[in-house]
Amino acid sequence: MSDLTRKYIADLDAGVRDLFASDRWKNYLDFLSRFHRYSANNTIAIYLQRPTASLVASFSDWRRKGRNVKKGEHGIKILAPHTVKDVDDDTGEIKQRLGFHIAYCFDVSQTDGKDLPEGPAHQLTGTVDGFTRIWDTLLAVSPVPVSVEPITDCEANGYYSHADQRIVIRDGLAELQRVKTAIHEIAHAMLHAKGAEEADADRSTREVQAESVAYVVCRALGLDTSDYSFGYVAGWSADKELKALKASLDCIVRTSDKILKAFEPSENNSGRETSAA
C-alpha cells in the first residue's frame, strides 16, 4: 500500500467519528440513500469531500454516457480494488491478494453534455402511492415471514421474534407507518438473527443499525422521513471504538443496499460497486 493511500485511509478514519453528531448523521443517511451501492468507506469518502454529490462516475464512464468532465474540476478520491501477486521466496509459489489504490470519480454537477434519463420520482405521505407493490417487495426480500395482526401484549408497532423467526406488524397502522415498521424489523432479521454478523451487538447498537437502515430505505423510496430523529446517536457513539463504528456503518450500507436492490429491475443491478473498500 502506498504512503498516499495510507494517508488517505487515515484521513478517512479521522472523519468517521464526526459523522455521528446527530445532525451530521441524518445528513449522512440522506446522502447514503443516493449512494447505497457503494462500500461504506467510499460513501463516507464521497460525503466528506463533496456532500452535495448526487451521482458519481469515473472520467471514462461519464464519456461513455455522453458527458465530459468540465475543465479544472478536481476528482473525488475513492478506494478501488486491484489484485496483488506475491511470490513465496522459499517455494516460488505465486499467491494473490486484494489490495486497494486511490481512484477518482466526478459528480454529475462537474460534467456537462447529454441529458441523463430521470429516475422514478416518489413523494409519499401518510397513504403510500404504489403501496401494494412496495409491500409485496418487502415481503419478498424479508428473510422471515411477515404477518399483520393485532398486538395486545406491548405498545410496539411491530417486532421481530428470534424464537419464532417471524416479523409481526400491528394491524391498523397507516400505510406509511406499516412500511417504515416493516423495514426496521426486516433490518433486525437480516442483521441480528442468531448466527448473523451483528447478532451479539448490544441493544442500543441494534436499534441504531435498524433505524438507520429504515431511514435510508424510506428516503431512497421517497417516503416522508420528517419524523425520524437521531439525537441519541451522538451519545451512543461516544464510547465506541472506531473499529466498531466502521463495522456498524458497513452493516447499514450493505443492508440498505440489499433491501433497495429488490426494488430495482434486474438489469439495473449490473455495474454495481463490488469492492470492500
Q: Cα–Cα distance between 24 and 97 in angstroms, integer?
A: 35
Neighbours of 63 (CB within 10 A): 14
In this structure, what DSSP letter does residue 228 have?
-
The pLDDT value given to residue 119: 52
Cα–Cα distance for residue pair 70/260, rounded to 1 Å: 32
3-state percent helix, strand, coil for the chain, nearest multiple of 5 = 45, 20, 35
Average pLDDT across the chain, whole number? 86
Identify the pLDDT of residue 126.
65
Domain layout of the chain by residue ranges: 3-269
Whether the pLDDT of residue 273 is over 60: the answer is no
List alpha helices for the chain, DSSP H.
Answer: 3-16, 22-32, 40-49, 59-64, 131-141, 175-192, 203-221, 233-237, 242-261
How many other CB atoms sit within 10 Å of the CB of residue 119? 8
| pLDDT (mean) for 57-74 | 94
Cα end-to-end distance, the chain, whole Å = 13
Range 61-77 average pLDDT? 94
Q: What confidence category does residue 12 fall into, taking pLDDT thresholds of 50, 70 and 90?
A: confident
Residue 170 has pLDDT above 50, yes or no: yes
Q: Which pLDDT score, from 0 to 100, does residue 266 have? A: 59
Q: How far apart are CA 224 and CA 149, in angstroms?
A: 24
In this prediction, residues 34-44 reach a mean pLDDT of 89
Lowest mean pLDDT among 51-65, 84-98, 134-148, 238-252: 84-98
Helix, strand or coil, per DSSP, at residue 41: helix
Determine the pLDDT at residue 118: 60
pLDDT one-digit tens code per residue, 70-122:
999 999 999 988 888 888 777 878 888 888 889 999 999 999 998 887 654 44
Phi/psi at 34 (5° precision): -95, -20
Percent of all residues in the chain with a pLDDT value above 90, rounded to a whole number? 52
Q: The pTM is what? A: 0.79
146 near 182, Cβ under 8 Å?
yes
- Gap between the Cα atoms of 65 and 16, Å rounded: 32
Burial pattern 142-159, b for ≥16 Cβ within 10 A else e, equals bebebebeebeeeeebbb
Per-residue model confidence as pLDDT tens digits over 171-226: 999 899 999 999 999 999 999 998 888 988 999 999 999 999 999 999 999 888 87
Where residue 99 falls (left for φ over 0; alpha for ψ -120 to 50; beta otherwise) is beta
Instruction: Give the burial class of 94: count Cβ atoms within 10 A of its Cβ; 0-12 exposed, 13-18 middle, 19 or more buried.
Output: exposed
